[in-house]
């Protein structure tokens, strides 16, 4: 009797083990039936914000005289920019930087033998941040007119930005995910299968490059500020379960 019971228990154990192994094998097989694809979305857009800056300086042996000259330049520059159509709230003037400058003398062996104070050099910058891009572009080209007022203004290149970047990024993500699904559906259909749920999704690099440029994409994501007209692109890698 004991032998029969032992044999029955052993048989049940073998059946249970076989069932578990078979179910485990089926699960492993199903999890391996996936399709991985990369979706891409891109969109051209125009910048809606420009940031432009420049600096000017005055040098004089007397600090108060240099400061007075620089403040006069600031007032004239403010009037000039407002006269060109910008508002005062679009202008930001920096704090004044002061640099003591000297001329140094050296002997024939290159050793310093003396120095002469040549004056205080005061420098200040102004930054314009505006949504009126056409106007700021025109001013940046015409700013040499300040020379007639005795102001040596050194202008930098305007930088262009887009204030609705977060919304643009979300829109591109949705389109990239849709593109990835279409790619996966094409692969599945051609192999006689159907895609089911998404198993994994990983966002790729978000890039902003200038339109019609040879600008290279970067590993960390390009972020163009030199071009007014730009192209944004994003990739997303998705893994789908296949039935």
Assess whether 18 and 38 both reside in one domain. no
Structural domain containing residue 5: 1-32
- Comparing 6 with 43, the larger pLDDT belongs to 43
pTM comes to 0.79
Assess whether 154 and 94 both reside in one domain. yes
Q: Looking at the predicted structure, is the pLDDT value of residue 151 above 60?
A: yes
Residue 7, burial from CB neighbour count under 10 angstroms (0-12, 13-18, 19+)? exposed
Dihedral of alpha carbons 208, 214, 217, 221, sign: negative
Q: Looking at the predicted structure, is the pLDDT value of residue 11 above 80?
A: no
- Among 100, 124, 158, where does a domain finish? 158
Which CATH number covers residue 143? Answer: 3.30.70.2970
**What integer pLDDT is reported at residue 215 of this predicted model?**
75
Strands (E), 145-221: 154-155, 159-161, 195-210
Q: Strands 112-130 and 91-93, how do they pair? A: antiparallel
- Comparing 205 with 18, the larger pLDDT belongs to 205
pLDDT digits (tens, 9 = 90+) for 167-180: 999 999 999 999 99
Assess whether 62 and 42 both reside in one domain. no
Assess whether 9 and 103 both reside in one domain. no
The answer to whether residues 105 and 115 touch, using CB atoms and an 8 Å cutoff, is yes
Assess whether 56 and 131 both reside in one domain. yes
Domain count, the chain: 3
Assess whether 153 and 57 both reside in one domain. yes
Assess whether 15 and 99 both reside in one domain. no
How large is the average pLDDT for residues 236-242?
93
**Which position has the token pair 């200038």?**
210
What proportion of the chain, given as a percentage, has pLDDT over 90?
70
Q: Looking at the predicted structure, is the pLDDT value of residue 25 above 60?
A: no
- Among 158, 178, 200, where does a domain finish? 158
Q: What is the mean pLDDT of the chain?
A: 87
At residue 149 the predicted structure's pLDDT band, cuts being 50, 70 and 90, is confident
Which CATH number covers residue 175? Answer: 3.30.110.170
Assess whether 13 and 40 both reside in one domain. no
Assess whether 75 and 10 both reside in one domain. no
> Helices H, strands E: what count in the chain?
4, 9
**What integer pLDDT is reported at residue 148 of this predicted model?**
86
Assess whether 152 and 56 both reside in one domain. yes
Assess whether 182 and 236 both reside in one domain. yes
- Return the structure tokens found at 152: 């040596």
**Which residues touch 46 (CB under 8 Å, ≥6 apart)?**
228, 229, 230
Assess whether 55 and 151 both reside in one domain. yes
Q: Looking at the predicted structure, is the pLDDT value of residue 13 above 50?
A: no
pLDDT digits (tens, 9 = 90+) for 31-87: 458 899 999 999 999 999 999 999 999 999 999 999 999 999 999 999 999 999 999
How large is the average pLDDT for residues 97-111?
93
């Amino acid at each position: 009797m004991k032998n029969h019971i032992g044999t029955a228990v052993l048989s049940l154990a073998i059946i249970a083990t076989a069932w578990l192994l078979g179910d485990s094998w089926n699960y492993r097989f199903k999890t391996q039936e996936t399709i991985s694809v990369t979706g891409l979305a891109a969109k051209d857009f125009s910048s809606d914000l420009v940031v432009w800056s420049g600096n000017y300086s005055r040098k004089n042996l007397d600090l108060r005289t240099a400061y007075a000259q620089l403040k006069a330049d600031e007032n004239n520059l403010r009037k000039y920019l407002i006269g060109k159509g910008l508002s005062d709230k679009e202008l930001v003037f920096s704090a004044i930087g002061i640099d003591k400058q000297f001329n140094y003398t050296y002997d024939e062996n290159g050793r310093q033998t003396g120095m002469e104070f040549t004056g205080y050099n005061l420098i200040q910058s102004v930054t314009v941040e505006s949504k009126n891009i056409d106007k700021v572009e025109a001013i940046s080209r015409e700013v040499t007119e300040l020379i007639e007022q005795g102001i040596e203004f050194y202008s930098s290149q305007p930088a262009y930005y887009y204030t609705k970047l977060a919304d643009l990024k979300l829109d591109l993500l949705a389109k990239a995910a849709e593109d990835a699904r279409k790619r996966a559906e094409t692969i599945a259909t051609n192999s006689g299968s159907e895609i089911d749920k998404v198993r994994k999704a990983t966002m790729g690099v978000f890039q902003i490059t200038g339109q019609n440029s040879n600008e290279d994409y970067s590993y960390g994501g390009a972020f163009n500020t030199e071009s007014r007209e730009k192209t944004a692109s994003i990739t997303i890698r998705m893994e789908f379960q296949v039935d």
